[in-house]
Amino acid sequence: MNAIATTDFNFPGQTKVYNGKVRDVYFVEDKLVMVASDRISAFDHILPRAIPYKGQVLNQVAKHFLDATRDIVPNWLEATPDPNVAVGRQCEPIMLEMVVRGYMAGHAWRTYKSGERILCGEVMLEGLKENDRFPRPLITPATKAEEGHDEDISKEEILKQGIVTAAQWDQLEDYTLQLFWRGTEMAAEQGLILVDTKYEFGLIDGEIILMDEIHTPDSSRYFYAEGYEERQANDEPQKQLSKEFVREWLMDNGFQGKEGQTMPDMPDDFVNLVSERYIELYEVISGKKFDRADASDVNERIEKNVGEYLRGE
C-alpha cells in the first residue's frame, strides 16, 4: 500500500509550504491547503515508517467534528477536495495548545505518579489512580514549539508572557470546555469516553477561530465506555482507542524521545496493526464505514483533486 511519507506539490497560486510533524501545509493566496500525510509522531519524533490510510482517517475525523461544532466556535475549514486534504482560511496562530483532560491518563498520570500534584497550575487531588475521572475537566495548556518539545504552561504564565490577553484567555477557556463537552457527548453516543484532547486556535481580524484537527486519534485519547467502571474497580488497564498504544510500544522498545535513545525499527505487522487501529477509530467514533481511497498513486490523485478545486473546476 502506498502511504504518504512526504509531499512535494506545486498547487496553482502556491506561495510557500510548511512541513509539520504530520501535516504539510501549502499556502495558496489567502487559503491553506493542509495535506494529512501518513506520517506518525510520538514523543515529538516522527516515526520511521508511514501508516497506510492514517492521513485519510485524520482528515475525515477532523471534518466530522469541525462540521459538528460550528455552532460553538467558527473554524477554519472550507472544503475537503480529497480524502487526505482540507482547504480553509489562513489564521494567525495563537501559540498555545489548549489541552483539556477529563481523566487521570497519559502525561497527567506520569506527572502524578512522579509525585507532582500540580500540572499547569491545576491541582490534582490526592488518592487518585490511573484512569480515574477528574472531578472536573482540567485545562493544562502547552506552548507550541516550532521544533522540539511543547512545554507545559500555566494560565498565570500565559498572561504574564502576553501570549494572549485576559479577555482572549477567557474566550479560549470557554471554547475549550464547550468543545470538550460536545466531544464527550458525541463520543458517548458511540460507546466511547473522550479522555483528553487538545485544541488549537488562531485569529482572523481579531476573531478567535478554531484551527487544525479536533478529536482525532492524534490529538485525543478515548476509552471504551463498556466495562470502564469494572476495569477501574479491578485495577485493570482501560481498553483504549488512541495512539497511546504506539507510545507504549516505543517505551517497551526502549524509546521515549530522550537524548541518546535510538528509534526502534517498525516491523510490517506493527505498521499494519496501527493502520487497522486508526480505521477502527474512524468507524467507531463516526458511526460510518471507512471507505479506503484509491492508493495506487496517492500524490497524483491529490494533485488532480486539489488543482481542480482551486481552479474552480
Residue 243 has pLDDT above 90, yes or no: no
Compute the average pLDDT of residues 86-96. 95
Residue 61 has pLDDT above 70, yes or no: yes
- What's the pLDDT band for 216 if we cut at 50, 70, 90? confident
Dump pLDDT digits (tens) for 224-236.
999 999 999 999 9
Among all chains, which residue has been given the C-alpha cell 494567525?
92
Compute the average pLDDT of residues 302-306. 95
Compute the average pLDDT of residues 125-147. 92
Whose CA is closest to 38, among 27, 49, 29?
A: 49
Which tops the pLDDT comparison, 2 or 131?
A: 131
Task: Please give the pLDDT value at position 149.
Answer: 65
Rg, C-alpha atoms of the chain: 19
Task: Please give the pLDDT value at position 20.
Answer: 87
Instruction: Give the integer Cα–Cα distance in Å for 262 and 249.
Output: 14
Q: Is 249 exposed, middle or buried (0-12, 13-18, 19+ CB in 10 A)?
A: middle
Compute the average pLDDT of residues 90-109. 96
Task: Please give the pLDDT value at position 148.
Answer: 57
The whole-chain average pLDDT of the chain stands at 93
Task: Please give the pLDDT value at position 218.
Answer: 78
Instruction: Give the integer Cα–Cα distance in Å for 22 and 272.
Output: 18
Compute the average pLDDT of residues 69-97. 97
First to last CA, the chain: 29
Question: Which amino acid belongs to residue 56?
Answer: Q
Task: Please give the pLDDT value at position 144.
Answer: 80
Residue 156 has pLDDT above 60, yes or no: yes
Instruction: Give the integer Cα–Cα distance in Å for 83 and 56.
Output: 5
Q: Is 205 exposed, middle or buried (0-12, 13-18, 19+ CB in 10 A)?
A: exposed
- Per-position DSSP letters for the chain, written without gaps between them: -----------TTEEEEEE-SSEEEEEETTEEEEEE-S--EETTEE-SS--TTHHHHHHHHHHHHHHHTTTTS-BSEEEEEETTEEEEE--EE-SEEEEEEEES-HHHHHHHHTT--EETTEEPPTT--TTPEEEEEEE--EEPPSSS--EE--HHHHHHHTSS-HHHHHHHHHHHHHHHHHHHHHHHHTTEEEEEEEEEEEEETTEEEEES--S-TTTEEEEESTTHHHHHHTTPPP-EESTHHHHHHHHHTT-SS-TT--PPP--HHHHHHHHHHHHHHHHHHHSS---PPP-TTHHHHHHHHHHHHHTT-
Task: Please give the pLDDT value at position 109.
Answer: 97
> How many percent of the chain have pLDDT more than 90?
83
Residue 116 has pLDDT above 60, yes or no: yes
Task: Please give the pLDDT value at position 219.
Answer: 87
User: 201: which strand partners?
Assistant: 210
Which tops the pLDDT comparison, 135 or 243?
A: 135
Task: Please give the pLDDT value at position 240.
Answer: 86
Residue 284 has pLDDT above 80, yes or no: yes
CATH among 3.40.50.300, 3.30.70.141, 3.30.470.20, 2.60.40.1510 for 93-244 = 3.30.470.20
Beta carbons within 10 angstroms of residue 184's beta carbon: 18
Instruction: Give the integer Cα–Cα distance in Å for 84 and 219.
Output: 17
Among all chains, which residue has been given the C-alpha cell 489548549?
98
Task: Please give the pLDDT value at position 1.
Answer: 60
Residue 90 has pLDDT above 70, yes or no: yes
